[in-house]
Amino acid sequence: MVMAEVPPRHSHRGTPRRDPLTFESPGGITGGCPGVDVGEPTQHDVTIRSRVLAPGSGAMRQSRCSHTEVVGPMKVLVTGATGYLGRAVAQRLSTAGHTVAGLVRDDLGIRTLARSGIDPVLGDLGDPSSLRAAAEDVDAVVETASADNAASVVALLEIIAGTGRRFIRTSGTGIYTDMAGGEPSATVHTEDDGYTPIPEVGSRYHSDLLTLAAADAGDHTVVMRPSMVYGYGGSEQLPVLLRAALRDGVSRYTGRGLNRYGNVYLDDVAEAYLLALERAPAGSAYNLAAGECEMRQIAADVARLLGLDGAVSISMEEAAQALGPRSAVSMASNSRVDSARARTELGWSAQGPSLVDDLTRGSYRRVWALREPAIVTEKVRA
């Protein structure tokens, strides 16, 4: 793969389509969810709502330490707004008073956003002219469609360059995966680590560096690194494990399964994006994890949820066959992160249920426990 050149930094620190109905909807414009207690509005909700002005007036105030706080609502383009992360992020920004447009690829996307309060705008990550048109009159672009589409990152950085528009890129703590084969690691990553990723995630990390380097040239760019996101019975990693276990009648972990991965609840991710949009200094990256789990425990909980006889250990090669090479890498790896920066700089505070609670007693039980193997049709990701 050809990589764009990353300018030196100074002191800063092709996604397959997914059935939109495979997870519980995170709710309508109010951010609620049937059957899931998302809690009372927080102090932050109240603060944000109280300073809603006219949409698009997005005035910004620069404070001492280059912390830029938005004092009015912005017009925001969210890519991936029909997806798991993007829909939650778009809804949270909208609930907070921002005017949100969602990039959609087709009529299905338009229909998916109907009645959500998010305006659909046609476009495709692979078509820079459609991205340019979609981002024409916005104050910010929040990219949640793909962490791995290097070309769209380059295109979006070009589009926002020198315009004052903010750009938030979605990466992931997958950049820290270590291919430990199920062995534990004591390493907990901060965003400041001088870091060399494994080749499998090199392109993703490179896009992070490109995004952060744009801040050195004066653009307001930010990188978000959610860990294993869960909630509403959906997401990326847990459904891969659940589908494979349902299909094969066996829940698996790699090696000894003592590798640990950070995790974070979907609504807490959406809240972090809202805070980052409004408060993050240019050139910031944020790891987002509220807890972490050993993969062996997740596999055991998946087995219990589906009524299977415990979880079994498999090799990396078997994992690649069962889950696809990409998921096999994350399932065999440690990805442990420190999220102190999000808490201290953004005021982020995770509120969601723990992954184990949501998996064993919450949304995953409601969505997955009664499924039959015959209705599992999705292929493993290449």
Ligand X SMILES: NC(=O)c1ccc[n+]([C@@H]2O[C@H](COP(=O)([O-])OP(=O)(O)OC[C@H]3O[C@@H](n4cnc5c(N)ncnc54)[C@H](OP(=O)(O)O)[C@@H]3O)[C@@H](O)[C@H]2O)c1
Which parts of this chain interact with ligand X (CB under 6 A)?
15, 17-18, 79-80, 82-86, 103, 105, 109, 124-126, 144-148, 170, 172, 226, 228-229, 235-237
Rounded Cα distance, 309 and 259, in Å: 22
CB of 60 to ligand X, least distance (A): 27
Report which of 94, 90, 95 is spatially closest to residue 78, judged by C-alpha positions: 90
CB of 344 to ligand X, least distance (A): 22
202 Cβ contact list (under 8 Å, min separation 6) = none
- Residues 141 and 214 sit within 8 Å (Cβ to Cβ): no
Report which of 282, 283, 265, 292 is spatially closest to residue 348, judged by C-alpha positions: 265
SS3 201: helix
- Residues 101 and 76 sit within 8 Å (Cβ to Cβ): yes
CB of 87 to ligand X, least distance (A): 7
CB of 104 to ligand X, least distance (A): 6
CB of 79 to ligand X, least distance (A): 6
- Residues 282 and 276 sit within 8 Å (Cβ to Cβ): no
SS3 58: coil
Which residue, 73 or 167, is less far from ligand X as judged by CB?
167
CB of 227 to ligand X, least distance (A): 7
Which residue, 252 or 326, is less far from ligand X as judged by CB?
326
Which residue, 90 or 306, is less far from ligand X as judged by CB?
90
Which residue, 270 or 308, is less far from ligand X as judged by CB?
270
Residue showing the smallest CB distance to ligand X in the complex: 83
Rounded Cα distance, 1 and 118, in Å: 35
Which residue, 126 or 249, is less far from ligand X as judged by CB?
126
Which residue, 15 or 190, is less far from ligand X as judged by CB?
15
Upper half-sphere CA count for residue 180 (Cβ side, 13 Å): 23
